[in-house]
Structure 1
Amino acid sequence: MSRHMKNVNLSSQRIYVPAGVLQREVKDRGGLFIPAHIFTPHKSLFGSCSDRLDRTLDPMLVDAVELGLSSDSYMAGLIPELDGLPFVTNSDAHSLGKIGREYNELLIAEPSFAELALALRGLSGRAITANYGLNPVLGKYHRTYCVNCGELADEINAAGRCAHCGSLKQVRGVMDRIEELAFQAGRNKPVVPDDRPPYVYQVPLEFIPGVGKRTMDKLLDRFGTEMNILHDAKVSEIAQTAGEATASVIARSRSGTLNLLSGGGGRYGKVTSSESRITDSANAD
C-alpha cells in the first residue's frame, strides 16, 4: 500500500491504483469490499466516477454498498444494479461526536469479522436486520446546490443549469443524481426486495432546535445514550428532563412528521417549524 499512497497511517487517503486492482487485492486477502457513500458528489462511485457500478468494479466482488447521509434504501431502490446488493449505513469514524450517527442492526452470534461477513451475505441465520440513518433530507448533499447564487434546486433540472441565476456551476445533489440514474435505467419507482431490512430514520439531537450542550448532557445523564433518547425513552420522561418542546420534536421525529428543510452543497438540512413540509422518500407517494 505504501507504494501507492502518501500516508498509510491516515484515514480517507487517495490510493493511486485502478479501483478493480484495489478490489482484487482486498478480496485476495480475505477482506470485505464495500464502496462508501456511493452517491455523494466529488469522490464517490456514482456521484463523480461512473453511471454504472460494473464499469468500475466487479459486482461479484462487492460485499455491500454504503448509502451515505443523503440517501436511503428507498432512493437506492431506484437503481436496478443495486437490487442484489446488501445496503449498510455507516457513520464516519473521524469525528467522535458523530460516531453512531448512522449504523446497522445485525443478527450475529458475536461481534467479530467472520460474523459480520456472514451477516452481509445472509448466511447461517445471520443478517442485517435494520439500517438506522438520518432522514436523507438532512444530508449535506441531498439537493443540487448552485455555487454561484447559493440556491438549492427545487425541481429536477436535467440541463444542469440553476433555475434561479442560470449558472452551470452546481454541486449535484444525491436526490437529483439518483433520479438521473433511474431515468437512464428506465425505473421510475423504487424496488425494495423482500429481504431488504427496514430503514429507520433518526434526527440526531444536534439537529433539534433548542437542544444545546446543557440539555444534551441532562438527557444523556438520565437515559444513557442518544440512541435510547431518539428511539426508546418515554416521551413523557423526555419532557420531564428537557421540556415539552424538545420532547414534541423527538416524538414527531419518531412518527416521521417533522418539517425539514433540505441540505445541499455541503450544508446540512434543518428541522424547521415552517408550515411547508418536505417528506422523506419513503412517504413521497
Structure 2
Amino acid sequence: MDFIKTTEQDSHYNNLENMSLSELLTNINNEDKSVPLAVEKALPQIEALTQQVILKLKQGGRLFYLGAGTSGRLGILDASECPPTFGVSHSLVIGLIAGGDTAIRKAVEFAEDSTTQGWQDLKSYNITKKDIVIGIAASGTTPYVVHALKLCNTNNIITGCITCNNNSPLSHAAQFPIEAIVGPEFVTGSSRMKAGTAQKLILNMITTSSMVQLGKVKGNKMVDMQLSNNKLVNRGTQMLVDQLNISKEEASTLLNKYGNVRKALKHYKNGN
C-alpha cells in the first residue's frame, strides 16, 4: 500500500525560533485558515458516516469514540458535551482513550501501541452490533484504534474513522472513513494543531447534526439542555420568554417548576 503521512511532512516554515511573536501568530493563523477547506472537501464522507450514526442512535444504539493522545481527548470532549447540551444520557456517546482516564491529562507511554487494548476497552462496555464505533487518529496508523476497528468489523459492528492522511491503515479498516487532509503542521508533526482542529470541527458536525435529527433541538434552540449553571438557567428563561411571549418572572417560575425548557413549553401550551 502506497501510504505517505502528510501530517509528518516538514512544515512549510523554517527557523521558527527566529520569527517575531507577530510573525509566529500570523503564520499559524494562515495555516489554520486551510482547515475548514480541508473539512469541506470531506463533507460527502462526513455525511455518509453521520447517516450511520443517526440510524444506530435511533435504533437504541450508542456512539463510541476511540483514540489516543489528542485524538482521544477530542473524542472524550465531544462525548462529554452531549449530555449538558442535548439532555441525553451519558451512556449515549462514549469517548475512550488509550491509557484510560489517566491519559486525559497525562500521556501514558506506549498505550497507543497496544493491538488488543482498544477492543478490550470497548468490550468493557458490552458493545454489540447495535452500536457504532468511530476511530480517531490524525496519523491513521495508531494500533490501539486500527486493531479495535478491525475486530469491530469482525463482530458486525459498524465502523467509521476521522483521520488526516490519505489511504491510511485506519481508513482501510473503517467502513465509513473520513479523511481531512490538512497537510504539514506549522511545527512539523504537531498534529494537535491543524489536524486536531479539523477533527474537532468534524466531531462538532457529527454530534450536532445527529442530535438535531434525533429531535434534540427546536428551531435553533437547545431545549433539552441541562440547567447546570446560572448562565444556562438564564438562557432557558429567555427561551421561554421568546417562545411564549411571557414575562421573565413567569418564565422563571415555569422553568423552576418543570426543570427543562421542552417540558415547560409542552405543559404551558397544554394549559397545565
- TM-score interval (norm. to shorter): under 0.3
**Normalising to structure 2: TM-score of the pair?**
0.24
- Higher helix fraction (1 or 2): 2
Greater relative contact order (Cα 8 A, min sep 6): structure 1 or 2?
A: 2
**Normalising to structure 1: TM-score of the pair?**
0.23
Q: Flag the structure with larger Rg.
A: 2
